[in-house]
Structure 1
Amino acid sequence: LERYRVDDAVDAIAVHGGSGAWGTLAVALFGQSSLLGTGLSPISQLLVQFLGIGVCFFWAFGVSYWLLRGINRWFPLRVSAEAEDIGLNYAEHKAKTDAYELLKIMDEHARTKDLSLRVPVDHFTEVGHIATRYNQVMNSLEDYAKRLETFNTQLEARVQSRTMELAQANANLQQLDRLKDEFLANTSHELRTPLNGIIGIAESLIDGITGKLSQATRENLSLIVVSGRRLSNLINDILDFSTLRQHAITLQPKSIALRELADIVLALSEGLVRHRPLQLVNGITNDLPPVQADENRLQQILHNLIGNAVKFTESGTITISAAVSEAAPEKKMVITVADTGMGIPAEKLTRIFESFEQADGSISRQYGGTGLGLAITRQLVESHDGNIWVESSVGVGSQFHFTLPLATSTDVAAIDTPVLSEPFHLSTLEPLATDPINLDLANSDHVLSPTAVTEVDEADQRFKILIVDDEPVNLRVLQNHLALENYAIAQATSGKDVFQIIERGFQPDLILLDVMMPHMTGYEVTRRLREKFSPNELPILMLTAKNQVTDLIEGLETGANDYLAKPVAKNELLARIKTHLRVSQLSVAYSRFVPHEFLQLLEKDSILDVNLGDQTQQEMSVLFADIRNFTALSEQMTPAENFRFINDYLSHMEPAIVENGGFIDKYIGDAIMALFPGDADNALQAAITMLRNLDAYNRDRIAKGYFSVYNGIGINFGPMMLGTVGGPSHMDSTVISDTVNLAARIEELTKQYEVPLLISRDTLIRLQNPDNYAYRLVDRVKVRGRTEPVSIFEVFNADPDALRNKKLQLKTVFETALARLNLKEYGAALQGFETCLEEIPEDVVSIRHRDFCRQQLRELGKSAPWKDIQRRSD
């Protein structure tokens, strides 16, 4: 067919008809009759087939052939060669396009992973068949993906639910862990409180607080002290272990010289050796570099290792040695504690640093202990980025090695020579006392009233100490310790009692304060006390069973000077008390030269913080006071009498200033310059009190046969600069301002007007309520250094009652006359002043104004200045 291009309808029918006829005849000629199932013989079957072929031939060539040829003549049924080529090209192009679209969709699937994409299907092409199968595969994948997504969602929900369960379980475990830590801390506090009483009472008895005791009694009391401290050390071990396990320890690393620290540790450990033939040897050489470590914790590590060695060594030596190791990536110091003791079996070496493990269980019964010493030591070493290991041979001895980092080059210049630090957790070797102790505190005659205050005579120069604790036993312990040092003591059992005792007039030099008290903790008491007293004025030593770092930090941040953990060692307590009292007394001595208020204005905590040139600007009142005619008075006295007189006089003036919120900036001979940071009323009240004190002082002097003393006081209010002036070797605190200069000028005017107290207009308008004071305008004058006139007022509250009442009655008449004078109405002014003098003939102010008016009336146009005073009208 391809050879003859038989591809149109006409030729195809003939060709296919011939082929069909031959096929039919072939069946008849060569087919098996039995299989045909017609029942005819081959000849009959062939005739039948010829009949069929004939009929078909007739219709094909007799009818259809000629009909189709006729139609083809008028309507061509066969396409042209050009159209055929176009059709073939289109078919080929469509097949390639369908294949390209299929590949494009597949590429989109690979890129986007979108399983919802499908390929368009043409069911009559091979590509369409492929697309159909591809879409079927994608349908299966999409269904699988959906099922997988549903499974993942369910799985995530289950994981999230399980995670929440695990988180809740973890939170519950953490809560239990916190409760455990709180239990340990609370148990520690509850145990330390009675331990402090047991140890303190026993120590005070040994020291002879109740009288001399027999040697046997002293030895028994010593056993009580040793047993109590041993129990305290066991409690500390448990708390240290808990803190280290929680990684809550805070190190303070610094450069440390090993040999000196080892000397201290060995000296403290001598008491553990007792009478055994055992020698403690420091084998650390002086040429070793320093290490970088926390000094207190390093001492604890060495104490634990040496104490452990002492337990297992009956005789021989215990040696501390050290060497620099080059094996590690960086140089480290390897420290070794070696003993010649019983040694540790090999099977025990791997477990010796585990918690609650001991090489020999009988050790805990013989010497005591919790089995935590080496576990704590390991964690302390590891917290320093070091390692610890042990080498031991039974019957030969043991060597404990641990490493520490070397000090950096920047730290070597600041090597600290170790000093005796806080008491460490040394488990002593004495056996525990077995006899029960019964102390009936409730019925003891020695338990003092919680609010009992030791009466102190005002002339008593002993230091006054207030002890505060809610436990009567602790109060007794502290009282016994302090009584031996001859301190004056007051006691309180609560924070409320502290403030009541101070309000009743007992001003302590130092407070020993318990932290855990009902209603108001020691922290709260300290905060309230610091609102009134600075750390230098009133040292506060906190005594508590809470000895964690956070407790120490909180105590110091609230304002405490020091912090001691119970049970308190008596000698350490007394030493710290003496140190803080000494520092406080130095501060008090310094304050006599540089007032605390001056430091506060400069925002300094101590005189040590003050530098040359420190300054601040403030608005405040300044008061000048001076003895009139002191030069003439001093000529009548010897130098020694002059000093006694001035000190006596100033001692009567100073309290009025301090009680009214002021402080003395300086004494200038017999003169006083005082500053008042508060409102102007404080300065004015102080001045009035000073005049009344002077009146009482004069009455006493007259009774003793001495002459009276008179002074003048001037007050001004305004801005001023406070600071330090001087040179490198000497400086002084001072106040520089025009406000100060004017106050001094006003004080000088008291001599001219012969009145004891004058104030400026700025001071008057700063008073909270001027009507509470008896005052009058004296004059408007120009003073040296000022170009503008200044209004000055007399305050006469300290005058005798009769004189004060008359001045108040004539105040309007006097001030009206003064106004007439300033208006140059001399006649009317003169009349007013004469009216005042009729009632108060001794009023010098009215006398001077009257004389001035008379002079002006006689010599109009002429001025009559009074020394440094010039009237504005002139």
Structure 2
Amino acid sequence: MTPSYKERFENLLRVVKKVTSSLDPGDILEVIRDEAKVTVPYAKEACLLMFDPEAKYYTRPLHCSLSKERINCQLCKKGGEHIQKALKDPVAFECAPQSSASAGPICEVAFPIWDGGGKPLAVLDVISDDKNGFHPKDIVLLKDLTDLATNAILNARRHWKLSQERLTLDSILKHIRPFVPDTVNRILEKDPFTPVLDKKEADVSVLFLDVASYTKISERLTREKVNFVLEKYFSSFLDEINHHGGDINETAGDGLMAIFQGQESENGLNACKAALHIRERTLEINRELEGRFQPVHVNMGINSGIAYLGMTRFQGETGTRMTFTASGPVTNLAARIASAAKRGDILIGPETARRVEGEIPLFDRGLMKFKNVKDKVKVYSLVGPGPRKNT
């Protein structure tokens, strides 16, 4: 007697309701295993034997659902003749006599579960009690259950693989993120699929920072000590730049470039405040390291105006390299102004001075001539007259 479509539907519906109540692959596979005994009420034992070598990653070990007097040994069953036969036949079925003369035959049915590529994922193995064998109805219902188990296992594997890919991607991003400017991180978080990274005109203030006499420092100290000194100072610089809304987009050993975006009335002031606080932190660290290291002088230059902001692409035969930066005359002049600063000075261009006048004291340094700049430029300092020593 074969089951009606209604019976098959109701049996699967009962299982599906339980399966869909959990997202845990282990729970789902245990439900399917247990439902094999519910489907065949007189079944003595039901096992979902996992052959997928990756099963240990997406589900916990599955014990057999069986009577307490039988041995629960998945390894023993996997190597059994009947299970091995099931891996060759669509459905393996046999009734074998028990050793006891008074007992009836043990009937065992095994359904292989494949991955679609011919590799075994699992075997659903069910053993009847001593008095009842398996009826055609049982075979059909268990086959339906096997089909459901196949989808459940394949979905569990896909979910695990996607989770692994996500973990791998997150790990990669975790290591890459410190190398990427915060502005780029924010753009990608806002729209990771179609980020707008093309260059566009934007009002910015650009700050260049340089550690004076870096060559002498590197010659005088060991590599380990040079690295310690730079990390000590630059870590504090990073905090101040971030605190004032800046974004470090380039570093080069003894220097860095930071971009301050925002309203014209704000970015220049933020850049100047960051520079002044960097100077204060430099003085503090010089005092902290006094007697161990020579004091460090940090020179800075700031310029404001319209720059070309976005990703610069360098495309060669071996690949593409991209860097987020602000380019154009405003940036070039900021770099020139920074190169003119000596012994811990902070020099700013005329546009930056205009924006912060009345907010921060300015000290006129007069007109300066810079390389590749046609006219002389009016330069101001944020550091007062007199000796400028970072001690």
Residue 617 of structure 1 deviates from its aligned partner by 3.2
- What is residue 392 of structure 1 aligned with on the other side? none
1:281 aligns with 2:146: no
Q: Is the 8 A contact 1:315 1:340 kept in 2?
A: no
1:705 equivalent among 271, 292, 300: 292
1:420 equivalent among 135, 153, 156: 156
Distance 1:231 1:793 in 2: 78
Residue 732 of structure 1 deviates from its aligned partner by 3.2
Q: Is the 8 A contact 1:266 1:280 kept in 2?
A: no
- What is residue 686 of structure 1 aligned with on the other side? 274
Residue 421 of structure 1 deviates from its aligned partner by 7.5
1:640 aligns with 2:224: yes
Change (3 A) 1:418 1:397: closer
1:272 aligns with 2:35: yes
- What is residue 348 of structure 2 aligned with on the other side? 759
Distance 1:646 1:843 in 2: 21
Distance 1:707 1:282 in 2: 74
Q: Is the 8 A contact 2:202 2:307 kept in 1?
A: yes
Tell me the alpha carbon deviations over residues 703-734 of structure 1, each in whole angstroms, 9 at most, x when there is no partner: x4321111111011122232132235241314
Distance 2:195 2:186 in 1: 11
Residue 686 of structure 1 deviates from its aligned partner by 0.8
- What is residue 340 of structure 1 aligned with on the other side? 137
- What is residue 69 of structure 2 aligned with on the other side? none
Change (3 A) 1:232 1:688: farther
2:236 equivalent among 643, 652, 655: 652
Tell me the alpha carbon deviations over residues 511-565 of structure 1, each in whole angstroms, 9 at most, x when there is no partner: xxxxxxxxxxxxxxxxxxxxxxxxxxxxxxxxxxxxxxxxxxxxxxxxxxxxxxx
Distance 2:117 2:251 in 1: 59
Distance 1:777 1:706 in 2: 33
1:586 aligns with 2:168: no
1:385-784 maps to which residues of 2 (within 5 A)?
A: 418-420=154-156, 583-600=169-186, 605-606=191-192, 614-678=198-262, 679-702=267-290, 704-721=291-308, 722-727=310-315, 728-735=318-325, 736-751=327-342, 754=343, 756-767=345-356, 770-784=357-371
* Structure 1 counterpart SS, 2:179: coil
Tell me the alpha carbon deviations over residues 198-248 of structure 1, each in whole angstroms, 9 at most, x when there is no partner: xxxxxxxxxxxxxxxxxxxxxxxxxxxxxxxx99946979xxxxxxxxxxx
1:95-244 maps to which residues of 2 (within 5 A)?
A: 233=17
Letter in 2 for 1:758: L
Q: Is the 8 A contact 2:36 2:142 kept in 1?
A: no
Change (3 A) 1:620 1:397: closer
Change (3 A) 1:283 1:687: closer
Q: Is the 8 A contact 1:660 1:683 kept in 2?
A: yes
Residue 672 of structure 1 deviates from its aligned partner by 1.1
Distance 1:626 1:286 in 2: 61
Q: Is the 8 A contact 1:755 1:794 kept in 2?
A: no
Distance 2:115 2:187 in 1: 54
Letter in 2 for 1:420: A
Q: Which has the higher strand share?
A: 2
Change (3 A) 1:286 1:631: closer
Distance 1:724 1:694 in 2: 32
Q: Is the 8 A contact 1:714 1:757 kept in 2?
A: yes
* Structure 1 counterpart SS, 2:289: helix
Superposed CA RMSD in Å reads 4.3
* Structure 1 counterpart SS, 2:306: strand
Q: Percent identity?
A: 21
1:853-868 maps to which residues of 2 (within 5 A)?
A: none
Residue 792 of structure 1 deviates from its aligned partner by 1.1
Residue 669 of structure 1 deviates from its aligned partner by 1.3
1:316 aligns with 2:134: yes
* Structure 2 counterpart SS, 1:771: coil
Residue 616 of structure 1 deviates from its aligned partner by 3.4
* Structure 2 counterpart SS, 1:714: strand
Letter in 2 for 1:781: M
* Structure 1 counterpart SS, 2:285: helix
Tell me the alpha carbon deviations over residues 56-91 of structure 1, each in whole angstroms, 9 at most, x when there is no partner: xxxxxxxxxxxxxxxxxxxxxxxxxxxxxxxxxxxx
Residue 687 of structure 1 deviates from its aligned partner by 0.6
* Structure 2 counterpart SS, 1:663: strand
Residue 615 of structure 1 deviates from its aligned partner by 3.1
Q: Is the 8 A contact 1:622 1:716 kept in 2?
A: yes
Q: Is the 8 A contact 2:302 2:352 kept in 1?
A: yes
Quick one: higher RCO (CA 8 Å, sep 6+), 1 or 2?
2
Residue 593 of structure 1 deviates from its aligned partner by 1.2
Distance 2:292 2:18 in 1: 74
Distance 2:189 2:171 in 1: 21
Change (3 A) 1:585 1:771: farther
TM norm structure 2:
0.58
Distance 1:282 1:420 in 2: 17
Tell me the alpha carbon deviations over residues 661-720 of structure 1, each in whole angstroms, 9 at most, x when there is no partner: 112111111101111112222111111110000000000111x43211111110111222
Residue 422 of structure 1 deviates from its aligned partner by 10
Distance 1:286 1:648 in 2: 57
TM norm structure 1:
0.28
Q: Is the 8 A contact 1:726 1:732 kept in 2?
A: yes
Residue 789 of structure 1 deviates from its aligned partner by 2.4
Residue 315 of structure 1 deviates from its aligned partner by 4.8
1:84-95 maps to which residues of 2 (within 5 A)?
A: none
Letter in 2 for 1:586: I
Q: Is the 8 A contact 1:602 1:616 kept in 2?
A: no
Q: Is the 8 A contact 1:616 1:723 kept in 2?
A: no
Q: Is the 8 A contact 1:714 1:743 kept in 2?
A: yes
Structure 2 unmatched ranges of 5 or more? 1-13, 22-27, 38-43, 46-106, 119-123, 145-152
Distance 2:287 2:115 in 1: 78
Q: Is the 8 A contact 2:206 2:271 kept in 1?
A: yes
Q: Is the 8 A contact 1:657 1:674 kept in 2?
A: yes
* Structure 1 counterpart SS, 2:319: coil
Q: Is the 8 A contact 1:599 1:605 kept in 2?
A: no
Letter in 2 for 1:794: S
Say how many residue pairs are matched.
275
Distance 2:221 2:205 in 1: 34
Tell me the alpha carbon deviations over residues 282-322 of structure 1, each in whole angstroms, 9 at most, x when there is no partner: 5999799xxxxxxxxxxxxxxxxx9xxx9xxx7538xxxxx
Letter in 2 for 1:279: V
Tell me the alpha carbon deviations over residues 552-588 of structure 1, each in whole angstroms, 9 at most, x when there is no partner: xxxxxxxxxxxxxxxxxxxx9xx96x98676545333
Distance 2:381 2:113 in 1: 84
Distance 1:668 1:648 in 2: 16
Letter in 1 for 2:218: S
Distance 2:141 2:173 in 1: 54
Residue 648 of structure 1 deviates from its aligned partner by 2.2
- What is residue 506 of structure 1 aligned with on the other side? none
Change (3 A) 1:284 1:603: closer
- What is residue 50 of structure 2 aligned with on the other side? none
Q: Which has the higher helix share?
A: 1
Distance 2:213 2:280 in 1: 20
Tell me the alpha carbon deviations over residues 4-37 of structure 1, each in whole angstroms, 9 at most, x when there is no partner: xxxxxxxxxxxxxxxxxxxxxxxxxxxxxxxxxx
